[in-house]
Structure 1
Amino acid sequence: MTLTLNKEVYGSLLADIQPQLITNEAENERALNIVENLLADENLSPEQEQILKLLVALIEKFEAEHYQLEASTPHSILLHLMEARDLRQANLVGVIGSRGVVSEVVNGKRQISKSQAKSLGEFFHVDPSLFIDFSMR
């Protein structure tokens, strides 16, 4: 079954929203806000549903290109989480080891062990596998 859209309604929505390729954070935020508003409406018209699908596809494309967690290393994830929570090396002493061990891990001189990954996962409330370098197997 082919969905038939009202060209005037769809054209008006396109003119109001002006969807386009997302190239920066501001444009992504704008698209996310529009999607959020559309999702809040329980009775979307077919035209609104098409706009929603289009915006979601544009957002997914932008985020896949700019937020690549798969390409992150355990070390970069640790540094990001520390920065996001305004933590210092001293905050991890006792979580993953002594001051010296923490320093080596944070400075990338030592890989994160499985037991340290588990401890970091519990500490940051994330999946411990984020801290395991599967490429080293």
Structure 2
Amino acid sequence: MSALIEQVAAHWAFVAPLLRKPKNEEDYDRLVAALDELLEWVGEDEAHPLMGLVDIIGEWVEAWDHQHRPMPKVTGVEALRYLMREHGMSQSDLPGVGTQSVVSEVLSGKRQLNLRQIRWLAERFSVSVETFI
């Protein structure tokens, strides 16, 4: 047996709870808590020795979310309404879309967002342009 496998075997009881894909909500919650703790510890350091563990757990959590908590399909206008609410914005706070009346027409479905407006909104809210398409 290699020295690496011997080390893993010696420490397996301690790391095994973190190295299992979630099979239920309890497993998922445990991994999310561990991921939060790891991210606090690792911070922005992409070269941190624990970054590989962050990546593994992050992928498992994301896969669980996609399978068990899929994002609802929303239109670009619904996304815009949500973002405006979250940011406490009114129609006049979106000059890159147009005047307040233009924003009102977009929100009511009378007018569609054009590419320039979508790009502006994506930059304004720091989201992907696909959010509004």
TM, length-normalised to structure 1: 0.59
What residue is the counterpart of 2:98 in the other structure? 97
Q: Quick one: distance in 2 between partners of 1:122 and 1:82?
A: 14
1:118, 1:128 within 8 Å by CA — same for their partners in 2? yes
What residue is the counterpart of 2:35 in the other structure? 32
Offset of 1:112 from its aligned partner? 0.6
1:55 to 1:124, Cα distance in 2 relative to 1, 3 A: closer
1:105, 1:112 within 8 Å by CA — same for their partners in 2? yes
Q: Quick one: distance in 1 between partners of 2:35 and 2:81?
A: 27
Alignment RMSD: 3.9
Where does the alignment leave 5 or more consecutive residues of structure 1 unmatched? none
Counterpart residue identity of residue 77, structure 1: A
Q: Quick one: distance in 1 between partners of 2:59 and 2:78?
A: 28
TM, length-normalised to structure 2: 0.60
Aligned residues: 123
2:97, 2:121 within 8 Å by CA — same for their partners in 1? yes
Q: Quick one: distance in 1 between partners of 2:129 and 2:13?
A: 48
Counterpart residue identity of residue 108, structure 1: G
